[in-house]
Structure 1
Amino acid sequence: MLTRLLSGDTPRSGLLTVLLLIVLISLAFAPFLFPGTKSLETAARICIFIVLVASYDLLLGYSGIVSFAHTMFFGIGAYGTALALNTSGPSYGSLIWGTLAGALVAALFALAIGLFSLRVKAIFFAMVTLAVASAFAVFVSQMSWLTGGEDGLNYKIPRELTPAFKLVKEKVLGVRINGKLVAYYLVFFASAVLFLIMLRVVNSPFGRTLKAVRDNAFRAEAIGYRVVWYRTTATVLSAVMAALAGSLLAIWLRYTGPATTLSMEIMIDILLMVVIGGMGTLYGAVLGATLFILAQTYLQNLMGVAAEATSAVPLVSTLVAPERWLLWLGVLFILSVYFFPSGIVGRLRAGRA
C-alpha cells in the first residue's frame, strides 16, 4: 500500500526513511507538537515550499531545464486567488475559481515560453525566462489599481479559515481548534496531495522519458521522442504546480505582494533548496525546504543564544552575533555542497548502495 502511494519510488535508504518520517509527523502534528504562532507559520511555509521546490525539481532535476521564471508562476497563482477574493468576496466559490484561473494563466504563460524558447540552447532559455520574469514583476508593481503595486493586496478569506471561527470551544491538548488550524490542515493536505501527484508523474513512463531527454536529448530525438513536446509539457506541469503552491500561500497569508511571491531572492532560495536536498529526487525537496526554512527562521535566534553564552570570549561572540546569521547561512550552504555534492538524498542513497 505504501509503495503504491509512493508510486514505487521508495526512499531506498534507512536513514532517509527516518528523516522523511520525522518531517511528515512533525508537519502533520505541528500545531500540537510545537504550539505557538511562529511555529505554525514556519510549518505552513515548509509545506508550501515543499510543493514549490518539488515543482522546480521537476523542471531542473528531471528535465534538465534551467528556468528563472518559477517565481512568476508562483506569483500568478497567488495573485489569481488574491484578486478573486478581493473582487468577489470571501467565498469558497471565489477561492476555487481564483485558484483555477491562476493555474490556467500560469499554464498558458509556460506554454508560450516553452514553445518559443525551448528550441534554443539552455543558457539562452535561462536568459529568456529571467527577462520574462523581471518584466512580469515590473508589470505587477506598476498595475497598482489592480494588484496594489508594491504594497500588495490584503483581502478576506472564508470565515471558517480565520482565527475568529471556533470549531471547538475548549482547547484540545492546549491548542485552540479554530479556523487558523483548519487553514493549516488545508495547506498540509493539499501540499501532500500535490507532492504525491508529482511523485507519480516522475515515476511514470512520461517521467522516465524526461530523464532520457535530460541525459541525452540528441539520442532521445534520434530514437523518435519529440524532445520539445516533452520539455514543454514538463514546463507547463511545473508551472501549474508552482501556481497552486502560490494559491496556498495566498490563502494562508491573506496577503499577496511582489516581495512574498515574485522577488529574485525567492528564486535563489528555491534553487538552493533543490541543490541542498538533491536534484532529480523530489524527496530532496522535502529535506531541502525543511532545513532551509528552519535555518532562515531560527538560525538568528540560535546565534543570539550562542553570542550570550560566549560573551566572555570577545572574538567568538562577535563572530556568532545574530546580525551575522546570513554569513553563517552561506557557510552552511557551502559545507552542504562540499560534503553532499549530489544533495542530501543523493548522498544517503549512495551510502546505502
Structure 2
Amino acid sequence: MFNRILSGDYPRSRALSALLVLIGVCLALGPFLFPGVRAFSMLGMICVFIIVVASYDLMLGYTHIVSFAHTMFFGIGAYGVAMSTDAFGSGFGAVFIGIGGAVVMSILLSLLLGLLSLRVKAIFFALVTLAVAFAFLSLVTQLYNITGGEDGLAVRSPRELGPAFRPLDSSLPGFSVIDFITGVVGQGSIGQAFNDAVFEVRVSGRHLMYYITFAISLGVFLFLLRMVNSPFGRVLQAIRENEFRAQALGYRTVFYRTAAVIVSAVLATLAGVLFALINRYVNPENTLNFELMVFILLMCVIGGMGTLYGAVVGTAVFLLAQNYLQDLLGLLVSNAEPGSLFAELAGPDRWLLWFGLLFVLSVYFFPAGIVGQLRLWAERRRERKADKTPAASPLKQES
C-alpha cells in the first residue's frame, strides 16, 4: 500500500522518516496542538509553500531549469482570486472564475517561457525569467485601478471559509504542546502540566480552509512524487544529467522541459490561490517580491534539491526559523546583562544575522541538503554493516 502511495520512493533513512512523520502529525493536528493565531497562520503557510517549493524543485532539482519567475505564477494565482472576488462577490463561483482565469494565464506564460528555453539556455534563461518577473511586478504595481497597486487587494473569500462560519456548535478539545513543555519545566509535574495544557478549540470556517489547504498540499506532493518516478520523470532526470545524450536517444527534450515548466507554473498558481484565501489579503510584497523568490530557492536548497521530500523538510525548517528565531533570541538575552557583547550580538533585532549564519552552517554540514545528507549517511551505515557481515562459507553455500 505504502509502495503505491509513495510511488516506490521511500525516505530511505530512519531519521528522515521520523522527521517526516513528525512534520506530518504537526500539520495534520496542528490547529488542535498549537493554539494562537500566529501558529495557525504559520501552519497554513507551511502547507502552501510545500506546494510552491515542490513545484520549483520539479524544475530546478529534476530538470536543472533555473527560473526566477516562479513568484510571478504564485502572484497570478493570488491576484486572480482577489480580483475575481472583488468583481463578482465572495461566492465560490467567483473563486472558481479567478482560479480558471489564473490557470489559463499561467499556462500561456509558462508555455512561452518553455519555448524560449529552446533558444536561450542556462544562465541566460534565468536572466530572461528574472526580467519577465520584474516586468510583471512593475505592471501590477502601476495598474492601481485593477490590482490596487502597492496597497494590494482584500480577498472576499466565501463565508464558509471564514472565521464567522461555525460548522459545529460545540468546541472541540485541544492540547497545547508549548504549554505542556513549559509546565513540565516549570512545575515538574506531568499531570498538572497536562491539565494546564488542555484547552478548547472553537471550530470555524478557518479550520475548514486550513484542512482544504492541507489536503491539497498532500495531494500535490503525492502527485509530484508519482510524476518524478514515472518514465516522464526519468526523462527529466536524464535531461538534468546530460541533455545532449537525451536528445541522442531520441527524446524531444524541448517538449519535456516545456511540460515541466507548465506543470510547475500551474501548481505555483494553485498555491497562490490558497495563499490568498488563507491570508484574505494580497499585495506585491507578499506575492511578487524578489525576496520571496530567494526564500523559495533557500527552502529548496536547505531541504535538498531533487528529492521532493526536501520541499517538506526545507519549508518547515525555514518557516519555523523565520517565525520563531527572533523570539528564541529574545528568550536567550532576557537574563543577560544589558549592554554586554552577548546581549548586543544575540538581540532579537539581530535575528537576520543568525538566520544567515544558520543557513551557512546548514549548507556546510548538509551540502546535499538535509534530505540528501540523511540519505547519504544512512547509505554509508548500510554499507558498513554489509562489510562487517561475514560471508557464508563455500560449504554452506553448496549445502
Pair in the same fold by TM > 0.5: yes
Report deviation, 1:247: 0.5
User: In 1, Cα distance between the equivalents of 2:172 and 2:121?
Assistant: 57
Corresponding residue of 1:161: 161
1:186 aligns with 2:241: no
**2:384 equivalent to 1:346:** no
Partner of 1:305: 331
Flag as ranges the 4+ runs of structure 1 deviating above 3 A: none
Query: How far apart, in 1, do the equivalents of 2:375 and 2:278 lie?
Result: 35
Output the amino acid matched with 1:39. Answer: A
Rounded to whole Å, the distance in 1 between the matches of 2:339 and 2:12 is 45
Runs of at least 5 residues in structure 1 that lack an aligned partner in the other structure: none
Structure showing greater Rg: 2
Distance 2:236 2:307 in 1: 13
Percent of matched pairs sharing the same residue: 54
Q: Does 1:277 align with 2:303?
A: yes
Which region of structure 1 is more displaced relative to structure 2, 206-215 or 6-15? 6-15
* Partner Cα distance (2:337, 2:220) in 1: 47
- On the 8 A contact 1:89/1:156 being kept in 2, the answer is yes
In structure 1, how many angstroms separate the alpha carbons of the residues matched to 2:378 and 2:97? 46
CA distance in 2, matches of 1:270, 1:105: 22
**Aligned match of 2:133:** 133
Q: Tell me if 1:20 matches 2:20.
A: yes
Instruction: Select between 308-317 and 80-89 the one with higher mean Cα deviation.
Output: 308-317
Corresponding residue number in structure 2 for 1:247:
273
Asked if the contact 1:80–1:101 (Cα under 8 Å) also holds between the matched residues in 2, the reply is yes
CA contact (8 A) 1:118 1:125 kept: no
**Distance of 2:95 and 2:218 partners within structure 1:** 19
5+ residue gaps, structure 2, are: 174-199, 380-399
Shifted more, 1-10 versus 202-211: the winner is 1-10
TM-score of the aligned structures, taking structure 2 as reference length:
0.87
| 1:280 Cα deviation after fit | 0.1
Q: Which residue of structure 2 aligns with residue 216 of structure 1?
A: 242
> What's the CA shift for 1:97?
2.3
Q: Corresponding residue for 2:58? A: 58
Residues in 1 aligned to 2:234 and 2:316: alpha-carbon distance in whole angstroms: 27
CA distance in 1, matches of 2:335, 2:293: 35
> Which of 295, 303, 321 is the equivalent residue of 1:295?
321
Q: How many residues align?
A: 353
CA distance in 1, matches of 2:3, 2:101: 34
Q: Aligned AA for 1:203?
A: N
Q: Hey, what's the Cα distance between the residues in 2 that align with 1:297 and 1:86?
A: 30
CA distance in 2, matches of 1:106, 1:77: 8
1:35 maps to amino acid: P
Deviation at 1:235, TM superposition (A): 0.5
Give the superposition deviation at 1:124. Answer: 0.5
Residue 196 of structure 1 and its aligned partner are, at CA, apart by 1.2
Q: Secondary structure at the match of 1:35?
A: coil
Which of 226, 232, 255 is the aligned partner of 1:200? Answer: 226
Kept after mapping to 1: 8 A contact 2:302/2:362: yes
Question: Which residues of 2 match residues 25-40 of structure 1 at below 5 A?
Answer: 25-40=25-40
Deviation at 1:312, TM superposition (A): 6.5
Partner of 2:77: 77
Greater shift, 122-131 or 197-206, is seen at 197-206
Q: Using the TM superposition, give the Cα deviation of residue 158 of structure 1 relative to its aligned residue in structure 2, in angstroms.
A: 0.8
Task: Tell me the C-alpha RMSD between the 2 structures.
Answer: 1.0
CA distance in 1, matches of 2:337, 2:97: 55
**Counterpart code for 1:262:** L
CA distance in 1, matches of 2:303, 2:99: 28
Q: What does residue 261 of structure 2 align with?
A: 235
CA contact (8 A) 1:118 1:232 kept: no
CA distance in 2, matches of 1:118, 1:294: 39
Q: Distance in 1 between matches of 2:320 and 2:280?
A: 22
Mapped to 1, the partners of 2:160 and 2:313 lie a distance apart of 31
Name the CA distance, whole Å, in 1 between partners of 2:359 and 2:229. 29
Q: What residue identity is the alignment partner of 2:263? A: L
Equivalent position of 1:319 in the other structure: 345
Q: CA deviation at 1:119?
A: 2.9
CA 1:118/1:23 → structure 2, altered by over 3 Å: closer, same or farther? farther
Distance in 2 (alpha carbons) for counterparts of 1:171 and 1:260:
33
